[in-house]
Structure 1
């Protein structure tokens, strides 16, 4: 059987509430069961959790169905990569020690079957958004992370839950209309960033999350930008079969 490489991002587990998140988690586990027989590598490309912070001996409650499934897949020899997103950037070594998952902090460049890939969650890239880029440096600063670790977990998680409830993971309006819309090639900041990188180095595929909108855009004759979308509305993912990269949907509405 041909082994595939799978990419997904922006599950935002924990948002907007426990009940809704559990339904989403169950769907994700069904997807993992579906891809497992053909999967050689799995790239979870950021914002898998709406918030994650690892204290030295404490991690957030919940998500045991997902973590158990990932542990099983890892034990079977499937290589799993976890990218730090803007919501779960405070991942440390828990997933590596317990699940054998490789943690990726920024970009990850690889070649598979003659195709070159540029992978990144997508936050902090491209033009604009200077305020977030400044905050990102603060949030990722080891001293700032150490200072937050001094806050007792009950208080720290309370702060996190308050922050998550106002996050942009809520990608629909009250009447169920998806907020994210395609803004045109010239205004899609990750496509703009990919084109700038492409001027210096060739990549067949640029794959990002963060944007919350599934996109498959042709950058040049032999280079594409794929955004993985999210799992609050689209349930989208990408798969590379050794020849071609495709953007797919799981149990889509």
Structure 2
């Protein structure tokens, strides 16, 4: 058996092939797993659990069916769907996890996260993240009319895309010192995350020896997962 990790699907109504690929993944690969962990950005945007998009209901139903088949599903918020709440999680049968979580997999301790908190060289993004994660700002936003929230979210996405065009790839990647600090703080030698859209298995040298940083890919033209077994950590791509 194996535990599966995915991230950065960015599901939205404009890319139905990705949604179809995800639903097939849940009906096939995921049903054979011991557990499924979604490490953020399952959706391209989330403006509240009260958004009546059929896409959300379809995804929740498929995840709930997976849970009913005995495969638990866990979710860490990403930078696009950080407002996903308890109501949707209950509908989907998912367990919400904190931004950083150490999980036990076949005798191994693995640190999992979305990954954006490791990109500390991007000062502008980190300032934005602190602002939108303010509970008061979130409370106020979620009480705006749905149509206004849609407009605000669209403007924020456009501003983010424009800002990223002027940032170097290095700034938007993880900071090596931040990675080592997380590994040391949590006393682990394996880290799995998404966010950067740079799938790879990295060797990381720490004070206590060699560690591994496994990075998930984004679901654009193919799907990505990390498959952890008792003997291996594999990064796998597959067609939709």
Q: TM-score, normalised by structure 1?
A: 0.82
Q: 1:102 to 1:202 in 2, by over 3 A?
A: same
Aligned with 2:9: secondary structure?
A: coil
CA contact (8 A) 1:46 1:83 kept: yes
Equivalent in 25, 31, 41 of residue 35 of structure 2 = 41
- Post-superposition offset of 1:199: 4.2
Question: What 5-or-longer segments of structure 2 have no aligned partner?
Answer: none
Q: What is the match of residue 139 of structure 2? A: 146
Q: 1:135 to 1:165 in 2, by over 3 A?
A: closer
User: How many angstroms apart in 2 are the aligned matches of 1:75 and 1:167?
Assistant: 38
User: How many angstroms apart in 2 are the aligned matches of 1:193 and 1:228?
Assistant: 18
Cα RMSD after superposing both structures: 2.7
Q: What is the match of residue 59 of structure 1? A: 51
1:170-210: CA deviation from partner (whole Å, max 9, x where unpaired)? x9xxxxxxxx97x6xxx952544222333455423100110
Q: What is the match of residue 238 of structure 2? A: 250
User: How many angstroms apart in 1 are the aligned matches of 2:4 and 2:157?
Assistant: 27
Q: What is the match of residue 155 of structure 1? A: 148
- Post-superposition offset of 1:32: 1.8
User: How many angstroms apart in 2 are the aligned matches of 1:140 and 1:134?
Assistant: 10
Say which is worse superposed, 139-148 or 59-68, in terms of deviation.
59-68
Q: What is the match of residue 77 of structure 2? A: 84
Q: 1:33 to 1:166 in 2, by over 3 A?
A: farther
Q: 1:142 to 1:244 in 2, by over 3 A?
A: same
Please list, as runs of the form range in 1=range in 2, the aligned pairs for 1:102-113 lying within 5 A after superposition.
102-113=95-106
Q: What is the match of residue 175 of structure 1? A: none
| Number of residue pairs matched by the alignment | 233
